[in-house]
Structure 1
Amino acid sequence: MTTVAFIGAGSVKFTSDLVANILAFPELATAALRLHDVDASRLATAGMVAESVARQLGAAPRVSMHASRRDALEGADFVINTVLIGGAAAAATDLEVPERFGVRQTVGDTLGIGGILRGVRTLPFLRQLAEDMAVACPDAFLLNYTNPMAMSIGYLARIAPSLKAFGLCHSVHHTVADLCALLGVDREEVVWTSAGVNHQAWVLRFEHAGENLYDRLDARIRADPELRRSLRVDMYRRFGFFPTETSKHNSEYVPWYLPRPDEVDRLRLPGVSDRLRANADDVRESEQVRTALERGEEVRLPDGAVEYAPQIIHSVVSGSPRVIQVNTPNTGLIGNLPAGAPVEVGASVDASGVHPWHVGDLPAVCAALNRSYLNVVELTIEAVLREDPRAIRHAAMLDPSTAAALPVDRIWDLCDALVAAHGDVLPRWARAPVSADGSR
């Protein structure tokens, strides 16, 4: 029997979608689904969600709920991680405190000062998870959805190089689908490749029946002024390759947009309040799902694309080959990005596992921007590996958007304020005071 452990199962939307995608495969309809969350109420909701999905699909999985992470992991074949350390409250702190310093963010989960602090919270948990897996299920695949994705995969490669860990994100899939819809072509007939880093990869090839679809996209953009008010269209026009993440995400990883109110207005970028409302809506939706299930109603089944984790599980179990995108260490996959750095590339999946593709060199300007992104990733990982609070400040100083918004003294003040606001959600070492000259 295939056993899948869900770590952070209280993420109701993720759990609902993933369980539905898994059970839709006949070979997985009787899988053992072990749900773990540290919040007992959310874990109970996750259990009801899984049972509701199974009933509607006519599947007969063995669903169990586990307060103990180790129990959930014991003998698992696949581990899906969707944990948010600190929950919605910590995510709000990542946005609200920087806003008081004049640092605008739109999401705060990947790069930027919010992504850095999320990394400092998340990476120590990943060490615990990797250590548990080494004992309880050493041969299992770890399929990670938790952000910051690049920091997570880069850190795991450093501390647990034998772990079969892959980072999964649907941004590339959705980007290609949206571009195909915009241009009126069937996605199944399009030939494309993408590579780069998570949330900042590039569509390198985009063709249909021998036609370079970038030519058609250029004409579409020239004809539509509203398209030119999209940040990632703006980046595409300047870089020559379309970025694979939404404008709100992309805005946080570069210095040119969020610190400038005129650019925020021109490109219609959301603010902190928009993200806080979205986060609150997610919490409210989870509560509504629980209430509906307690009344005997069924959870709504997802529609649209199958998530990558269920595709990996099905391919490994059934031997059915398929192609996906994964985040993985750079073992020569992209020639002009640092060795060992977390990169996002295409991959083949079959019964023998996941096989990332060699890409070669990225276009020089794309690689240069990715290296700027990876500087922040590397410094955050180093901060956690060395338990060095000064390195948190180094990551913030090198972060493009933060550095464009604040002078260096204010960046350090901001880090001090965030550390104080987060309190014991952060590891003890991260809360140690540190001066600009390195003394504590």
Structure 2
Amino acid sequence: MSSGPKITFIGAGSVVFTKNLLGDILTFPELAGCTISLYDIDPERLETAEQMARWTAQTLGASPTIEAHLDRREALRGASYAINMIQVGGHAATLLDFDIPRKYGLRQTIGDSHGIGGIFRALRTIPVMREIARDMEEVCPGAIMLNYTNPMSMLCWAWFASSRIPIVGLCHSVQYTTEQISGYAGVPYDEVTYLGAGINHVAWILRFEHKGRDIYPLLRKALEDGRIPQDDLVRAELFRRLGYYVTESSEHNAEYSAHFIPHPGQIEKFNVPIDEYIRRSEENLQEFADIRAQLQRGEPFEIERSAEYGSLIIHSMETGQPRVIYGNVRNDNLITNLPTGCCVEVPCLVDKNGVQPTHIGDLPPQLAGMSRQHVAVQELTARAALQGSREHVYHAAMLDPLAAATMPLDQIWAMVDELIAAHGDALPEGIRS
């Protein structure tokens, strides 16, 4: 008999992420008797996720009720929390997102959050997200959606506009970035305090202190001394020019800007890993096969607490223990020089009252400007998906900084047409007709 909330994993076949989140959740005694409901469209992946869940529970000495469902509504029925980690179209769709733009001269690194790859990942994911939202409204109307699926801002914006179910988008880029730059500055991470805000993957560390002392000067010294690692040169250059460190990673930020990939010599100078996500996607396929075989052999896995916020939100909402996390939420006067209604990433207090975003005010104008160019693309993409507007797909692609720096408008239109034709029925009907 369950003695805690029901937590539904949507896309549970992402078994590594499922393992990490399960380990985080079941480590808390107050959650060890919860119901874990696993859902996936792939029977083999679902079976593997269930095996992983039972192994994790047994290893941690927890006693959750574990369910596995191929029916999403049944998986969600009565849930208090839904955790979304789907990837619509999988590896095959990812290849289209890279291969077709490459024909037009547009090179990408990750292609899952911003830019042309982000636009088309959003267009095939938003219809599924809307179906999930409708299911939740009917079978678990009191639940909250914790979304890990990219493109974060576009998906959350579409959700804000079309569902009354609360949603918070979760990422690890703020916590990973602050840990990284603490190392660059040579200060212990557990003694650092910081404030970040912006949009997902383009949020900015606005305050960065060690025992009340500004440590940005130490970070600038590390930059001047050439102590920034070779895999973080893009963000270091943006820091040099803008005065603040941006979140996520250099491979992501290289494709978010017009200043690196399109220009001769910049890929080599800033060590930009073109097509990186294709390699990662191929590795993920092999990793799943290896994990499935390892489970079937009865071999153990390492369990350690991750940096993800999901379990912390659930624990705080269940117990009342207050915590601060960084969440992607609707901009209701939170960042005052970004548009109302867009998706922003800000500190949020979490307790029994839920996820409560904090007011930031204005970003420094150069940072707001960097964010706004992506916000425009996000709005047009969300509108394209919700309204079935092919025209807004063209408009979103036209305003993407990397596409605009790479090709003229007629080629952008032709590239969009080819991507729409290739993705076909995965896109909203009005867009493909």
TM-score (norm 2): 0.97
Q: Distance in 2 between matches of 1:329 and 1:174?
A: 23
> Aligned letter for 2:300?
E
Q: Are 2:99 and 1:103 aligned? A: no
SS at match of 1:261: coil
* Aligned partner (choices 295, 298, 303) of residue 296 of structure 1: 298
Partner of 1:190: 192
Partner of 1:36: 39
Partner of 2:152: 149
Larger deviation, residues 45-54 vs 253-262: 253-262
Give, in angstroms, the shift of residue 179 of structure 1: 1.1
User: Aligned pairs, how many?
Assistant: 429
> Aligned letter for 2:398?
M
SS at match of 2:256: coil
Give, in angstroms, the shift of residue 426 of structure 1: 2.3
Give, in angstroms, the shift of residue 182 of structure 1: 2.1
**Identity across the alignment (%):** 43
CA contact (8 A) 2:172 2:307 kept: no
Q: Distance in 2 between matches of 1:317 and 1:101?
A: 51
Q: Are 2:183 and 1:181 aligned? A: yes
Partner of 2:285: 283
Q: Distance in 2 between matches of 1:418 and 1:182?
A: 41
Deviations 1:179-236 (A, max 9, x none): 1122222222212100000000000000112321101111111111665870000001
Partner of 1:261: 264
CA contact (8 A) 1:336 1:361 kept: yes
Partner of 2:91: 88
Q: Distance in 2 between matches of 1:371 and 1:30?
A: 44
Q: Distance in 1 between matches of 2:16 and 2:227?
A: 35
Partner of 2:365: 364
> Aligned letter for 2:138?
V
CA contact (8 A) 1:195 1:201 kept: yes
> Aligned letter for 1:360?
G
Larger deviation, residues 62-71 vs 89-98: 89-98
> How do 1:41-80 and structure 2 match up within 5 A?
41-80=44-83
CA contact (8 A) 1:314 1:320 kept: yes
* Aligned partner (choices 204, 207, 211) of residue 209 of structure 1: 211
Q: Distance in 1 between matches of 2:392 and 2:215?
A: 43
> Aligned letter for 1:236?
F
Partner of 1:438: none
Q: Distance in 1 between matches of 2:104 and 2:339?
A: 33
Partner of 2:310: 309
Change (3 A) 1:407 1:324: same
Give, in angstroms, the shift of residue 389 of structure 1: 1.1
> Aligned letter for 1:7?
I
* Aligned partner (choices 220, 223, 230) of residue 221 of structure 1: 223
> Aligned letter for 2:396?
A
Q: Distance in 2 between matches of 1:368 and 1:428?
A: 33
Q: Distance in 2 between matches of 1:171 and 1:384?
A: 26
> Aligned letter for 2:246?
P
Q: Distance in 2 between matches of 1:25 and 1:237?
A: 42
Q: Are 2:20 and 1:4 aligned? A: no
Partner of 1:231: 234
Give, in angstroms, the shift of residue 304 of structure 1: 5.1
Deviations 1:114-133 (A, max 9, x none): 10001100111111111100
Q: Distance in 2 between matches of 1:19 and 1:227?
A: 33
Deviations 1:308-351 (A, max 9, x none): 01000000111111111000000000010000110000011111
Q: Distance in 1 between matches of 2:209 and 2:285?
A: 41
> Aligned letter for 1:261?
P
Give, in angstroms, the shift of residue 425 of structure 1: 2.4
Which ranges in structure 2 are unaligned for 5 or more consecutive residues? none
Q: Distance in 2 between matches of 1:226 and 1:188?
A: 20
CA contact (8 A) 1:12 1:49 kept: yes
> Aligned letter for 1:276?
I
Change (3 A) 1:306 1:225: closer
Q: CA RMSD in A?
A: 1.3
Partner of 1:437: none
> Aligned letter for 1:387?
G
CA contact (8 A) 1:116 1:395 kept: yes
Q: Distance in 1 between matches of 2:96 and 2:104?
A: 13
Which ranges in structure 1 are unaligned for 5 or more consecutive residues? 433-440
Give, in angstroms, the shift of residue 270 of structure 1: 0.4
SS at match of 1:346: strand
* Aligned partner (choices 108, 119, 123) of residue 122 of structure 2: 119
> Runs ≥4 in structure 1, deviation > 4 angstroms?
225-229
Deviations 1:361-387 (A, max 9, x none): 000000011110100000001111210
Larger deviation, residues 92-101 vs 198-207: 92-101
Partner of 1:330: 331
